[in-house]
Amino acid sequence: MAARGNKPVFTENFSANLSDIKTFLGKDGARAFDRLFEHLVKDLVAMLCRFPLSGRSFLHRTIHSNEAQALVQKLQEKMRPGDDLREFISDDYLILYIVRGKQIVFLSIRHHRQLTFDLKRFWRD
């Protein structure tokens, strides 16, 4: 439980993803976005900070394409030694975060119908 009791870190990318989700859901999805945000603030962040290994290891999944393998390789090159990239699914949302020592770094959040994760804003060349 490496990050127990520590404050989370939210990347600029994570914040931008929340804005993207709000736009993606549109006016008709305003209530859904409000529920997501409330759930994040009240429940998910605290739970993941207390139990950081609740999410599944992102890098231990089976990769079926050469393109995906190349992307994972690039991702691993940008990670620090000891970083543990994890994913957590809650309702319609997938959250990517890193357990980095005693810190939880929230990288990205996506609605399951959105296309992909874009972590370029987190790891700049």
CATH tag for 9-109 (out of 3.40.1350.10, 3.30.2310.20, 3.90.1720.10, 3.30.70.1290): 3.30.2310.20
For 112, what's the count of Cα atoms within 13 Å in the CB-facing half-sphere? 7
Q: Say what the pTM is.
A: 0.81
Domains in the chain: boundaries: 9-109
Residue 43 has pLDDT above 80, yes or no: yes
- Provide the pLDDT confidence category of residue 2 given band limits of 50, 70 and 90: very low
Strand partners, 98: 85, 105
Name residue 77's amino acid.
E
- The pLDDT value given to residue 115: 61
pLDDT digits (tens, 9 = 90+) for 46-103: 999 999 999 999 988 888 889 888 888 888 888 999 999 999 999 889 999 999 988 9
For 11-77, the DSSP string reads -HHHHHHHHHHHHHHTGGGHHHHHHHHHHIIIIIHHHHHHSGGGSEESTTS----HHHHHHHHHHHH
Instruction: Please report, rounded to a whole number, the percentage of residues in the chain having pLDDT higher than 70.
Output: 86
Distance, CA of 95 to CA of 109 (rounded, Å): 4
Which of 39, 33, 41, 2 lies closest to 17 in space, CA to CA? 33
